Amino acid sequence: MPHLPTSDGRQPWRAHVLTLFPEAFPGPLGVSLAAQARNARIWSLDTTQLRDFGLGKHRQVDDTPAGGGAGMVLRADVLGPALDHAQNLNPEAPLIYLSPRGTPLTQGLARDLAQGPGVTLLAGRFEGIDERVIAAKGLKEISIGDYVLAGGEVAAMVLIEACVRLLPGVVGTSESLTTESFEMGLLEYPQFTKPRDWDGRSIPDVLLSGDHKKIETWRREQSERLTADRRPDLLRSRGQKPT
Ligand code: SAH
């Protein structure tokens, strides 16, 4: 019974992954906050085995690339019906293909997706998928970074985890979300905890001063310095809404 409402009557945020490796899930989504939130029905996770839509006795899902070249490509006549099936289950959810060619996944995009009804995610394998499926089904392509993975499963988990921790009730205080890296268009300031002295290093005095105004100023400066050093591209795009 995956789609019962939460105790306060809200519908869960629904993640559905189409994959050749459903056994990879929930993986890291099955521990800690994401697991608790799933038990509380704040979100749900379903997988569809693409091979169930495979062709013939061998349930074939892929074939050689038209025009030649290395590797195999997932077939349109397999993915099409699989995507139709998934779309029927959650018609309002965007259809997303995890792909190195896609729009980069950012905190802003995760926030937008977390505000919707959920996501239907297609995880590719091999050389990828037949291009015609992307156009025919209106797939939105999303990349988790400028490197190539062996499959879309880990990328799907990354996207889901980034969204799930933004759902109301998942992370304890909403303040711990708003001060995080990227939320202000800045990287987060350095964090410290006990003990006060460790290995010849101490916690910066200002953090122990109890002066909240000073602490806020120090953190802000640290954030700006770190961002300028490591990610000047974030500062340049700060005029716009942070994404
Ligand atoms: N030949 C393709 C890469 C295929 S990698 C190309 O050059 O673009 C196999 C699958 O892994 C892809 O279909 C995609 O679903 C997934 N994948 C690989 N890298 C990814 C990334 N950076 N972001 C999201 N998905 C990725």
Q: How confident is the model at residue 172 (pLDDT cuts 50, 70, 90)?
A: confident
Which atom of ligand 1 is the closest one to the Cα of 147? 22
Q: Is residue 3 part of a domain?
A: no
Cα–Cα distance for residue pair 83/78, rounded to 1 Å: 9
Q: Is the pLDDT of residue 243 over 50?
A: no
Which of 2-11, 41-50, 190-199 has the lowest average pLDDT?
A: 2-11
Determine which residue's CA is closest to atom 12 belonging to ligand 1. 124
* Statement to judge: residues 104 and 223 lie in one domain: no
Q: Which of 72, 99, 121, 160 to mutate to test the pocket of ligand 1 (most atoms within 8 A of CB)?
A: 99
Q: Is the pLDDT of residue 2 over 70?
A: no
Comparing 92 with 240, the larger pLDDT belongs to: 92
- Domain count of the chain? 2
* Statement to judge: residues 95 and 214 lie in one domain: no
pLDDT confidence of residue 3: 59
CA 215 to centroid of ligand 1, rounded, Å: 43
Q: Is residue 104 part of a domain?
A: yes
Among residues 155, 157, 152, 176, which one has the least CA distance to residue 166?
176
Q: Which amino acid is at 120?
A: T
Q: What φ, ψ does residue 18 adopt, rounded to 5°?
A: -100, 125
pLDDT confidence of residue 45: 98
Which atom of ligand 1 is the closest one to the Cα of 123? 15
CA 109 to centroid of ligand 1, rounded, Å: 19
* Statement to judge: residues 184 and 119 lie in one domain: no
Cα–Cα distance for residue pair 47/233, rounded to 1 Å: 37
- Residue 37: half-sphere exposure toward Cβ, Cα within 13 Å: 27
pTM for the whole structure: 0.94
Domain of 219, CATH number, reads 1.10.1270.20
Among residues 52, 42, 26, 79, which one has the least CA distance to residue 165?
42
* Statement to judge: residues 76 and 133 lie in one domain: yes
Residue where one domain finishes, among candidates 134, 164, 194: 164
Q: In sequence order, which residues have a C-beta less than 8 Å from that of residue 64 and are 6 or more positions away?
A: 72, 73
pLDDT confidence of residue 1: 45
Name the one residue in this structure whose structure tokens are 């015609």.
Answer: 132
* Statement to judge: residues 109 and 226 lie in one domain: no
pLDDT mean over 160-189: 89
* Pocket flag, ligand 1, residue 128 (CB < 6 Å): yes
* Pocket flag, ligand 1, residue 70 (CB < 6 Å): no
Cα–Cα distance for residue pair 221/223, rounded to 1 Å: 5
Q: In sequence order, which residues have a C-beta less than 8 Å from that of residue 241 and are 6 or more positions away?
A: 108
Comparing 236 with 205, the larger pLDDT belongs to: 205
CA 139 to centroid of ligand 1, rounded, Å: 14
List, for residues 27-68, the tens digit of each pLDDT value.
Answer: 999 999 999 999 999 999 999 999 999 999 999 999 999 999
Q: How confident is the model at residue 90 (pLDDT cuts 50, 70, 90)?
A: very high
CA 208 to centroid of ligand 1, rounded, Å: 47
pLDDT confidence of residue 238: 76
* Statement to judge: residues 101 and 50 lie in one domain: yes
Q: Is residue 5 part of a domain?
A: no
Q: How confident is the model at residue 176 (pLDDT cuts 50, 70, 90)?
A: confident
List, for residues 210-234, the tens digit of each pLDDT value.
Answer: 999 999 999 999 999 999 999 999 9
List, for residues 135-151, the tens digit of each pLDDT value.
Answer: 999 999 999 999 999 99
The range of the structural domain enclosing residue 71 comes to: 13-164
List, for residues 103-160, the tens digit of each pLDDT value.
Answer: 999 999 999 999 999 999 999 999 999 999 999 999 999 999 999 999 999 999 999 9
CA 201 to centroid of ligand 1, rounded, Å: 43
* Pocket flag, ligand 1, residue 123 (CB < 6 Å): yes
Domain of 102, CATH number, reads 3.40.1280.10
Answer yes or no: are the C-beta atoms of 11 and 5 closer than 8 Å. yes
* Pocket flag, ligand 1, residue 148 (CB < 6 Å): yes
pLDDT mean over 175-186: 83
State the SS3 of the chain: CCCCCCCCCCCCEEEEEEECCHHHCCHHHHCHHHHHHHHCCCEEEEEEEHHHHCECCCCECEECCCCCCCCCEECHHHHHHHHHHHHHHCCCCCEEEEEEEEEECCHHHHHHHHHCCEEEEEECECCCECHHHHHHHCCEEEECCCCCCCECHHHHHHHHHHHHCCCCCCCCCHHHHHCCCCCCCCCCCCCCCCCCEECCEECCHHHHCCCHHHHHHHHHHHHHHHHHHHCHHHHHCCCCCCC
* Pocket flag, ligand 1, residue 151 (CB < 6 Å): yes
* Statement to judge: residues 90 and 147 lie in one domain: yes
Determine which residue's CA is closest to atom 11 belonging to ligand 1. 151
Burial of 63 (0-12, 13-18, 19+ CB in 10 A): middle
* Pocket flag, ligand 1, residue 124 (CB < 6 Å): yes
pLDDT confidence of residue 215: 98
Residue where one domain finishes, among candidates 130, 164, 198: 164
